[in-house]
Every structure is written in structure tokens, then in C-alpha cells.
Amino acid sequence: MKGGAIIWRVASFAVAAGFIALWQLVANWKLVSPVFLPGPDRAWASLLRGFSSGDLWSKLIGTLEHMAYGWLAASIAGIAIGAMIGSSRPMRTYVAPSLEFLRPLPVSAIIPVAIAAFGLTQGMALFVIAFGAIWPIMLATIHGFAAVEPRLYEVARSLQMSRLAVIFKIALPSASPDILAGMRLSLTVALILSVVCEILAGLDGLGHWVLLSARAFRSADLFAGVILLGVTGYVTSVAMSLAERRLLAWQASQR
């Protein structure tokens, strides 16, 4: 990073630290009741406590597991179904409009149906998370497959490439920027739905932790959990972006 950029970064961190200091002042002067707003010092203490006792750690793993299983299932299914639909024009004509119609609908509304079908179980959570996470991936895959440069298909025909080879060597790599972007969006959805399912079904995870903390008015633990959820969202998103950049290194040279 250039010298100027580093200075700005440091200044930006200083501003953020300033906000935290402000937060601490508000807590110290009890401008808001400590039952609702613990100071950053208490939240931090709770974080340390939670990790050293292993409680928060197991909750974090719980949420990450829910996210991971649902997201992986959604990725595999979403790419497979999206590839099928996206690579065939008749399927695109008949199926894609219905999917576009379903896109903006609140995915959480499927939760009661899932509860009715599976009860308040891990299975219900997996279904809900996978169902919610599949949409961005599937729609992105369809779009990616539909947008493959037609010239490349002619090259493939000229080389007499098999159907499978065309899908894996031409369509999939061509659609990969779209697919990876969709997978990144799905991560966010997976996190949100994990938290909701944990709150509803009392499953082991950060969502359950923050709910219990709220019920017991343990505001420091509550804030610690919320901060941890923010960190989880941030880290998973950054990890995904880094993976994207590595896999799409060839695109960088195109810009």
C-alpha cells in the first residue's frame, strides 16, 4: 500500500476507536441503562470469559456448522440445477421466469412449513438454510451459463468435444465469476438463517446464545455474541473474497 493509503487507514482506525471511546463514555455515565447498553469493557470481558470457558467457542462452532452444511448443500444443488437449466434454452424459457418470480420473496416464510414438516430440529435448520442459500447460487449459475460466449461453443463443436467436456471445460469456467459471486451472497443468507433457526428452535449456536443472554438481561454476554456474529459475517465474507480473487486471477489481467 502506498504511504498515503496507510495514513488514511490508520486515521480510519483512529476514528473507529473514537466511536468505541464514545461508547465507553456513554456507558460510564450511564446515559443508557447498563442493562441495555454495557460498556465496551464489559462486552470485551464477556468475550474473553466466554472463550476461555469454552462456551462461546462451542456456540461459534455450532453456528458455523449450520452455515457450512446448509451452504455446501445449497452450492452443490444450486450449481448442478443451475447448470442444467442455464445450458438448455427450452429449460430457460419454461423454468427461468418462475424462478425470477420467486426470487424477491421472503425466504424466511418457508420456516413454518419446515417446522411443520421436520419439527424443531437440526434437520429443519439444514433444510431452511439450504433452501434460502440455494437461490443466489442457482440464479447466478443460470445467468452465467446462459451468458457463455457463443463463439466458444463453436470452437467446442469444431473440436468435437463431448457434452461433459463442454460443461466442465467451457461453460463452468466461463460462468465461474457469476457462480462465485452468488456463493458469496449465499454465505450472508446462510448466516442470517442460521441465527433465525437457532433462535426459533433453540439449537446450539450464537443465535441461541444471544437470545438466552437477552432473556436473562445479561447485556455484556449479549453484546459479546452480537459482536462475534458481526466478526463471523466479516471473516467469512473476506475469506470468500480472497478465494474468489485467487480463482479468478485471470480476470484481473482483463481489467
Partner 1 sequence: MRPGEFLCIVGASGCGKTTALCLAAGLYQPTSGAVTFDGQPMLQPRREIAIVFQDYGKALLPWRTAAGNVSLALEAGGISVTERPARIDALLRKVGLPGHAEKYPAEMSGGMQQRLQIARCLAQEPKALLMDEPFGALDAMTRQGLQDEVLSLVAASNATVIFVTHDLDEAIYLGDRVVGLLPHPGRIGIELAVNLPRPRDQLATREHPEFLRLRRQLFDFIKATEQ
Partner 2 sequence: MTLDRAKPLLLPIGALLAFEGWARATHLQSDSLAPPSEIVVALAGALADHSILAATRDTLFATFAGLAIGSLIGLALGIAFGISDTLDRLMEVTVEAVRPIPSIALLPIALIALGFGYRMEIVIVAFACIWPILILSRAAVRSVEPRLMEVSRALRLLAAQRVLKIIIPAALPRIFVAFRLSAGIALIVAVTVEIAINPLGLGAGIMLAQQALRPDLMLAYLVWIGAIGYALNMLLTVAQRRLFGRAALSGDSL
Residues 76-105 interacting with partner 2 (rule: CB under 8 A): 93-98, 101-102, 104-105
Under rule CB under 8 A, residue 174 binds partner 1? yes
Nearest approach in angstroms of CB 81 to partner 1 is 23
CA–CA gap between residue 159 and residue 125 (Å, rounded): 46
CA–CA gap between residue 13 and residue 146 (Å, rounded): 43
Nearest approach in angstroms of CB 152 to partner 2 is 22
Alpha carbons within 13 angstroms on the beta-carbon side of residue 110 total: 16
- Which of partner 1, partner 2, none does 89 bind, CB closer than 5 to 8 A by kind? none
Q: Which of 165, 216, 231, 239 binds partner 1 (CB under 8 A)?
A: 165
Residue with cell 426459533: 200
Identify which of 244, 238, 236 has the alpha carbon closest to the alpha carbon of residue 177: 244
Under rule CB under 8 A, residue 202 binds partner 2? no
* x-marked contacts with partner 1 along 138-157 as a string, rule CB under 8 A: -----------x-xx-xx-x
Ramachandran class of 30: left when φ > 0, alpha when ψ lies in -120 to 50, beta otherwise = left
CB 190 within 8 A of CB 132: yes
Those residues with Cβ within 8 angstroms of residue 60's Cβ, 6 or more apart along the chain or in another chain: 206, 228, 232
Q: How many residues bind partner 1 (CB under 8 A)?
A: 21
* Residues near partner 2, by CB under 8 A: 8-9, 11-13, 15-16, 19, 35-36, 93-98, 101-102, 104-117, 188, 191-192, 195-196, 199-200, 206-207, 210-211, 213-214, 217, 219, 222-223, 225-227, 229-231, 233-234, 237
